[in-house]
Structure formats: structure tokens, C-alpha cells
A and B are shown apart, each in its own frame.
Chain A
């Protein structure tokens, strides 16, 4: 039934799934749930999302998309502008660079990869935030958010893998 044009449109929409799903995750994460630490959800979900797509479908999560997502997180949080953008570009670079090691292996390998790359992201985050505020920032929230992210990774990754099946041409 697909006319070439409609087919092209569907493919285009499919290619947009990783970015728009990530964007939606960030927006949904900042809703006022009234739960403790729920303000950490948006940067954590953006991080997991960029990592996941950079490993499994890097062509659908280019550096520019990671940059825009980070910028969105920065705008919403009111924090140092460009900080999350920088962190997510680096995550994209590290994750897509290591995709041969990470993709297609067991789930645990992907999880371990997240643990390591997110830890690096936390260090970069802390360094630039401290530089921006010209004071050594309290590092506890970063450690907490890294722990939350690592714990949440399996659930989010399963959700994203469902989304990933939608990106494949049927």
C-alpha cells in the first residue's frame, strides 16, 4: 500500500523516534510527582537515553540530537547553560565509540558500560559545574543520581528496546 512518498514519510518518522522519545521522557520526568529526588529524574533519563541510542542506533541519535536534549534539560533546570549539552555530547561520543564492545553482547555488558560512562559523565558534570560556580560543588547529589541511574537503567533500557523495534522498517 505504501506509495514511495508515504513510505519515505514513515521512515522519516521512524528515524525521529529516538530523539522524540528521549524528549518526551525528559518532559514527563519533570512533572511534579511530589516524590523525593524526583527532580533528578530528567538528567538521569536523558543520560540513559542518549547512552542507549548511541550504543544501539547511533545513526538515529547523532551528536546534534544529544546536544539538543542536553540543552532542553539545561533550559528546564535553570542550571548552568550548556552543561548537560556538553555532558551528553561526551556520552554520545564515548558510547558510540565503544559500541563494538557494548552492542550485541549480553544485557549485563550494556549495563556495565552505562555504569562506567555515566560515572565519567558525573565527573565531567561536577568539574564544569564547580568551574561555573567557582566553588567545589557538593558531590553527594551526583553520586546519588549516578546510583539512581544505574539502578533504573534496566527498566529504562527495556522500555527503549521496545521503542527500538519501532524504528526498524517493517
Chain B
């Protein structure tokens, strides 16, 4: 009898927590940050040998593939040195033109490197824990990248740990644009490996293989960070294959970039951007991406 009562009480507590999580999300988040802070040092210690083992395995792989990699790299160097010449010319030309136009410079992002100490996620959440927090200058909302591209954004920050919400999480919304057509959209995660492009202007033409970068709208992410390539275009919309290799995320870079004051501006701004993008009958008429507008001064 008492046992049955205890069981019911615990069930009611769990359901109560779920309801609280829905109505008082911030308070629950705060509690969760505190709990993760306690576990983080344990995870940091436990994850060190795991990382070492991964490095050892990677080293063996490298050794096995050395000669093949060498050939591929030599070929790549030959190809890229051609690009380097082109890039040098463009860089010079860009500098000259910028000197003529005198646009305001984008704030250069300062970054913090962090190690992934927990591949947590689970069934409905795509997130990982990082070993950097307030004391390292990490704040909620900051963009996180790997060498390959945008990984997601920081959602919860403790003193020494933080949680990175990945691009493909259900709650992830990132303002992006198609690199060459400059069409703006919102990249919305849905727990699948390839997030959806939403709020694309109706007349936007996108093709598989188009590169997608951050647009810098909402002021939290720096513009121009590589995100992924369009992998499929259907009636329902387009899907993106992110550049990030989820399975190989060991170290990440947290960008301490902030064009807007702190606060929960992300969701709000996403909404307004999205609204504009969706209703935009002439979405390409005004090239009001961040660097361009500043250039008009």
C-alpha cells in the first residue's frame, strides 16, 4: 500500500517536473546547469582516456593510409596553389575596393576553444557538453564551429561547463543564406541528420550542392560562417547536409561575437526575420546583409 503510494508520488513528481519544464523553463534550465556543473569534472576526467584512445586509433589509421594520403595531398596542393594565386589577387582587389568604399568593419570574433566532454543528447535532443563556461567567457547564444563549419549554439552555461545545442536539434533555428543567390532562410533542425531550410522566399531558386552560410541576422552569429550544402530540394523544401562531422567533434571553437546586447534575442529575432523572409515579395531587392548595409554609410 505504502509502496503503491510512493510509486504514485514519484510519478506525480516526474509529471510535475515535465509541466514545470514547460511553464518555468528558465528555472529548470538553471537547476540543470547547476547539476551539470557537479558532473562536469567527473566527465572531464573520464573522457580524457577516451580521447587518448581515439587519438591512438586515428594515428594508426593515419599510418595505414600514409602513402595514399600523400598522393591525394600532393594533387590537392597542386590544385590549391592555383587557387592561392587567385585568392591573393582577390584579396588585394578587395582591400583596394574596401579602401575606396570605407565600409564599417565587422567586429572580429574572439574565440574560445573547448573540448567535448559529453555526447549527451539522447533520443529527442541533439546536444553535447563542453568544458568551457562563464569563466572562459562563454555566454548563451554564442555560435560554435569546428574546423569544418557551424556546429550549433551555446544554450546553457555554467561556470566551467556549457551545453552546445547542435544544428539538427528540434529547437535549433539559425538564420542562414544561400551563398551565391543571397536568399535568406532559417535553418530549422528536426532531429534528423539533415536540417530543413524554412522560410525561403517563394521565388528562391536553390539547387543541390549550393553552399549555405550564416546570414548574420539576429546579430548573434557572425555572417558568412560555412554551414553546409543543399542536399535535396523537394516540393516541401530543401534540406542541408551540414559540413560538421558529428562523429568527429572533439574540439570546438566558441565564437565570442555579439552585435546585439545579451538576452534572449535569438528566438525573437528569428521570428521577425523569418516573417520578413516569408512575406518578402522582393526578397532580393535590398541587399541588406550586415556588411552591405554598413557599407552604405
Contact = CB atoms under 8 A, between A and B. Distances in A.
B39 A145 contact: no
A78 B7 contact: no
Interface residues on A, range: 35 or more
Nearest to B58: A34
B17 interface: yes
Contacts of B15: 82, 86
A42 B122 contact: yes
A80 interface: yes
Interface of B is mostly: helix
A82 B16 contact: yes
A56 B50 CA distance: 32
Contact of B36 (A35, A75, A80): A75
Contacts of A132: 18, 21-22
Interface residues on B, range: 35 or more
A2 interface: no
Interface in A59-117: 63-64, 67, 70-71, 73, 75-86, 89-90, 93
B84 interface: no
B118 interface: yes
Given A33-B50, A76-B118, A141-B191, A82 B39 contact: no
B18 A78 contact: no
A34 B116 CA distance: 10
A70 B14 contact: yes
A32 B121 contact: no
Contact of B46 (A31, A42, A138, A140): A31
Contact of A77 (B16, B18, B120): B120
A22 to B, nearest CB: 15
A141 B120 contact: no
B20 interface: yes
B248 A34 contact: yes
6 contacts: A30-B129, A34-B119, A42-B120, A86-B14, A132-B18, A138-B190
Top 8 closest pairs, chain A to chain B, by CB: A82-B17, A39-B121, A77-B122, A86-B14, A81-B21, A82-B14, A85-B14, A79-B125
